[in-house]
Structure 1
Amino acid sequence: MSENRTWTRRNVLRTGGAMAGVGATAGCLGSLGSSDREAAYTVSMPPVGEVEFPGVPETWVTNNGSWADMGVALGQDPPEGVWLPSRYHTQYYDEIPDVSVDKSGMTRISDDGVDPETFYEMDGDVHVIDPNFLTNRFGDDVTESDVEDIENDIAPFFGNSIFSTGYSWHEDYPYLSLYEAFEKLAEVFQENERYEAFVEVHDEFQSNVEEVVPAEDERPEVAIMWAVESEMGSFSPYLIGEGTSFKQWRDLGVEDAFANTDVRDFHSTRGAVDYETLLEIDPEIILFRGQEAKTAEEFQDAIVSQMEDDDTARELTAVQNGSVYRGGPLYQGPITNLVVTERAAEQVYGVETELFDRQRVGDIVNGDF
């Protein structure tokens, strides 16, 4: 696919549209008179190269909650559609004053495959999706020709798959860190000052996190897996890697219980581990992904209770010590990362103090920065 992408949308940008769900005022192009917001500009990011925008996008589409959260942090309307709305965990915004997102009308892009017509129905001003994700993961549904048609008929693609480094097709171009990707999206929405305000919050947050992380020999071994309530006893293992979905665990410096074993990451093998394997490793803390829609109490009732009732699982140190927790989402943006890292610090280190200023985050989203 071409490295030089130009937005050729016939109708340029729609005007009008009100903020729906987020307690903030997005820069609606129809109400803007400043030439700096209406002038054409370009933003560059691998693998899409230089993308030209004739004006600031109003509506947008993205493939996961990482980018959706970035957009919310930048004061934008929520996206018209995401890959799987169920994995965009908007309940994290309950922690932030005056920020909320209603995803009830959000289009689910992936529905037993991907139909290119869905992009025409959503009619977004930009598709914040790595086009290689579409053509490599769903090549039977979306071809390079389909991607080019969508760009020519509707709007460009602008994305990089950042949550995991386990994709072989991503080896030809660099991954971005969470804040590198966030900065690129801020350029798209022309919200650089909001981005810089978040950088300040994040820098202070990182300093606070560093203060609560104990010496290396005092950090626990954790096992991160994907669990399904109806299939307890067989779990997909995740080794802590460089993708954004592991940011909180890297920042907290935890030890990966699988790192020095024969267990391989689910992304590379599609393998599974059972209770017997876990008992051999016996991690101090067990973290289950796929459970973020549950409250802590619901997780205890649905997941932990099954382990306590299993003859093998109840022998695990983590079960005996009450150290089985929700393991965080696959997709993290700047707001989500603050919330889940603070929660993780409490889980693994017993930290009970706030590590970031929630009111400050809400103020930035709402334009006070």
Structure 2
Amino acid sequence: MECSSNDEKAPTRRDYVKYGGAVLTGGLLAGCTSEGEQATTEGTSTTTAASTEATAEDESYSVRMAPMGDVEFDSVPESVFTILNHHTDMVLALGRGNSVNALHGPGYIQSLYQKLTHHLDGVSIDWDGLYSSWPPSKEKLYELDSDVHLADPAKVATAEGWDEDALTEIERNVGPWFGNTLSGSHTAPPEGWADDYEYYPLWEIFGKVAQVFQETQRYEALASVRDSMLTHIEEHLPPEGERPSAALVLFSTSDDRIWGYKMNHPGYYAAHTRPLGATDALSAAVGPGYEDDGRNITLDYELLLEADPDVLLVLGPMSEYHNIDEIRTSLENHQVAGEITAVEEGRVYTQGARRQGPILNLFQTEMAAKQLYPDEFGAWPGYVDGEPYPDIPEEEQLFDRTRVADIVNGDI
């Protein structure tokens, strides 16, 4: 596939998109938002105004996203290289899961996503055994011969052996780079990339990926599902003074290390928790010897007890690499952790993963809403280790599984 990039500055959003000969109009979005604006933008999707242009005379089209600039395609990509699963999830949501030829930790990601696709009739994945793509091998990229590399070149540039020349070589000889990863937690770009970098909400990145595959209608349909869910959540949230405190954590599988993640920080890592407005118990949890980069914090049981969350949201147990029952038992039997309010009151719950795309975001938002606010959104039924995402009565579901499955399967 021929491709080229143009790094000249241009408006991040245009006021129209030519798609399949039809003009789809939508509101303009700023490419980089402030922290206050980020929460609003994540909570409300807007029709993707685009830089995708296709005509009957010229089937080539271009899509603009930082840090690549304008990326030109001469046809819709068929084989897709991914690294992080927010991009992989987007390909799946656009009905092209079978086109993925690489992702980081395929076994881990497949074990998680199969728990979700169980509830989406006609949607399945088979990623086990694919090339685990971080850090990527240039030789392997030649071998895969992908039509597009859905990966952030600024992130790839941090891997050993990947300089500007190597990135350009793959772009010219194999296929273009198209991805944005540092928006996950607004991480500072590496040296040489700062001038070209912009941070986007999760669903805006998804909208741009949809343009790459000329699937804007699918994107808009899924965004409408999410909008409806967020509207319902916003209308039923209890007053701020009545909301619980919570902490989002990941426990090491090899030692006593614990990582905490800021629930209301800008970035798509918090796209499922920020709209819920719970008090982040870790927002001020700092102390001597504890690493805190403003987004995440390395902590131990003493600091977790000091934060003392009412609810503990644990990342990982929906994959096959963590077990929520073992985690609960370990916490209950620990001299310090056993005194944490969430542990004492039995409010230690399963979460999926921070690096979320649209499918995981829908399920995780519903999951977290029920775990934090059972009186408002129905009780979380609990997750059984090794089983799919739990069955929830239709009247208590926060989004329509059938509608999502239909969209992914092409019935838009």
Band the TM-score falls in, shorter-chain normalisation? 0.7 to 0.9
Root-mean-square deviation (CA, aligned residues, Å) is 2.5
User: 1:284 aligned to 2:307?
Assistant: no
Pick from 4, 7, 27: which aligns with 2:6?
A: 4
After TM superposition, the score normalised by the length of structure 2 is 0.75
Pick from 117, 125, 144: which aligns with 2:147?
A: 125
Pick from 76, 98, 101: which aligns with 1:80?
A: 101
Q: Secondary structure at the match of 2:272?
A: helix
Structure 2 counterpart of 1:116, which letter?
A: K
Distance 2:361 2:211 in 1: 21
- Cα distance 1:121–1:267, how it changes in 2: closer, same or farther (>3 A)? farther
Q: Which residue of 2 aligns with 1:274?
A: 300
Please say if residues 37 and 56 of structure 1, whose CA atoms lie closer than 8 Å, have aligned partners that are also in contact.
Answer: no
1:124-273 mapped onto 2 (5 Å cutoff)? 124-136=146-158, 138=159, 140-161=160-181, 162-169=183-190, 171-172=194-195, 173-232=197-256, 234-240=257-263, 241-262=265-286, 272-273=298-299
User: 1:51 aligned to 2:71?
Assistant: yes
1:321-336 mapped onto 2 (5 Å cutoff)? 321-336=345-360
Structure 1 counterpart of 2:104, which letter?
A: W
Distance 2:84 2:249 in 1: 20
Superposed displacement of residue 270, structure 1: 7.8
Pick from 280, 295, 308: which aligns with 2:332?
A: 308
Distance 1:203 1:126 in 2: 29
User: 1:94 aligned to 2:112?
Assistant: no
Of 89-98 and 192-201, more deviation after overlay is shown by: 89-98
Q: Which residue of 2 aligns with 1:367?
A: 410
Q: Deviations over 1:136-185 (max 9, x none)?
A: 2x1x2322111111111100001111322133437542111111111111
Deviation >6 Å, runs of 4+: none
Of 117-126 and 37-46, more deviation after overlay is shown by: 37-46
Q: Which residue of 1 aligns with 2:22?
A: none
Superposed displacement of residue 300, structure 1: 3.2
Q: Identity of paired residues, percent?
A: 37
Distance 1:83 1:37 in 2: 39
Distance 2:353 2:319 in 1: 10
Structure 2 counterpart of 1:165, which letter?
A: H
Gaps of 5+ in 1: 6-33
Q: Secondary structure at the match of 1:185?
A: helix
Q: Secondary structure at the match of 2:157?
A: helix
Distance 2:142 2:188 in 1: 27
Structure 1 counterpart of 2:352, which letter?
A: G
Distance 2:236 2:342 in 1: 22
Q: Deviations over 1:290-322 (max 9, x none)?
A: 333059xx7332211111111111111111111
